[in-house]
Amino acid sequence: MDIKSYIRDVPDFPTEGVVFKDITPLLKNPQAFNYAIDKMAELTKEFNPNKIVAAEARGFIFGAPISYKLSVGFVPIRKPGKLPYFTVGEEYFLEYAKEKIEMHVDAIDPNDRVVIVDDILATGGTALAMSHLIEKLGGTVVGMVFLGELSFLNPRDKLKEYEIKSVLTY
């Protein structure tokens, strides 16, 4: 299945000069969405994780069903003030803004084998910040899995110490 055809480019969103990869056409098509989840789950399984970590909001769309398919734990990462328990945070830069993410202080156990899952790998800033949070709590990032990767932004340069797998490359 050609799932690239279900991802549309939206120019100048969220700011001028950014071409946003919109996954909503893929999500509304059950066959394309199922195919994407199955492909990402296959890639994730190769890392033999015991936890999947994903950031809101689009990461949840892929991380939770992959966690379910592989029978492993799911850990949400959210924006500040959205989690109801004690948190640890990390600031990072997107291609268009400075952000901060948080996760619960008890979300990762020492020796957890964690795979980071998200929709699109752009500059690598979010994935790197997520890695730092996982490692602060004693977990090991054994891999990262993305639906799509924007290779022209060179995100792997920022993530050299991690193994990355993507279903699609742009």
All structural domains of the chain with their residue ranges: 3-169
Using alpha carbons, select from 159, 143, 148, 146 the residue that is nearest to residue 47. Answer: 143
18 or 6: whose pLDDT is higher? 6
Length of the chain (residues): 170
How many whole angstroms separate alpha carbon 144 and alpha carbon 163? 6
User: In this structure, what token pair is assigned to residue 71?
Assistant: 């029978």
Only one residue has tokens 């892929």, namely 62
Which pLDDT does position 96 carry in this prediction?
64
**Choice among 56, 58, 99, 113 that is catalytic:** 58
* CB burial of residue 76 (10 Å; 0-12, 13-18, 19+): buried
Only one residue has tokens 């004693």, namely 138
Contacts of residue 133, defined as CB under 8 A and 6 or more positions apart, other chains included, come to 77, 88, 89, 90, 101, 102, 103, 108
User: In this structure, what token pair is assigned to residue 23?
Assistant: 């996954």
Question: Catalytic annotation on 58?
Answer: yes
Q: What is the pLDDT of residues 11-69, one digit of tens each?
A: 999 888 889 999 999 999 999 999 999 999 999 999 999 999 999 999 999 999 999 99
- Residues 121-135, mean pLDDT to the nearest whole number: 96
Question: Catalytic annotation on 113?
Answer: no
Domain 3-169 class, CATH top level:
alpha beta
pTM: 0.95
Task: Reply yes or no: is the peptide bond before residue 57 cis, omega within 30 of 0.
Answer: yes
Residue 18 phi, psi (nearest 5): -90, 135
**Choice among 46, 91, 95, 135 that is catalytic:** 95
How many whole angstroms separate alpha carbon 73 and alpha carbon 66? 10
The pLDDT mean for the chain works out to: 96
